[in-house]
């Protein structure tokens, strides 16, 4: 469940590699930058909603997101800081000051 309502939202996505090498996605996919942006902006609420609720897609989706983010950011500490600050709700102006 992606919200606190009792309506289930399926989090299935399909990734396809096109002939020119581009990855196209349908549904909810971590290969879609807009999905990742939405997750970062709503991270705390998504994490709280799915925490310990193992029979929902949200818990598994957030586990996958955390693993992908950790792998992608491990060699880039500045980007990791920026992602953390975004999750913490800092504005772009506040992040610029910290940088």
Does the pLDDT of residue 1 top 60, yes or no? no
**How far from the centroid of its chain's Cα atoms is residue 64's Cα?**
9
Put simply, whether the predicted model's pTM sits higher than 0.75 gets the answer no
Residues 5, 9: Cα–Cα separation, whole Å: 10
Supply φ then ψ for residue 6, to 5 degrees.
Answer: -95, 10
What pLDDT shows up at residue 40? Answer: 87
Q: What is the pLDDT of residues 29-70, one digit of tens each?
A: 888 888 888 898 889 888 888 778 777 778 888 999 999 999
Handedness of CA 94, 33, 78, 49 (dihedral sign): positive
The token duo for 51 is 């925490």
Percentage of the chain modeled with pLDDT above 70: 89
The token duo for 32 is 């879609």
């Amino acid at each position: 469940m992606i919200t606190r309502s009792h309506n289930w939202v399926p989090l299935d996505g399909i990734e396809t590699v096109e002939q020119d090498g581009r990855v196209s996605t349908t549904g909810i996919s971590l290969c879609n930058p807009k999905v990742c942006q939405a997750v970062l902006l709503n991270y705390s609420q998504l994490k709280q909603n799915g925490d310990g609720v193992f029979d929902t897609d949200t818990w598994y989706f957030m586990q996958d997101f955390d693993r992908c983010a950790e792998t992608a950011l491990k060699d880039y500490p500045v980007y990791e800081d920026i992602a953390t600050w975004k999750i913490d709700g800092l504005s772009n102006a506040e992040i610029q000051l910290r940088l």
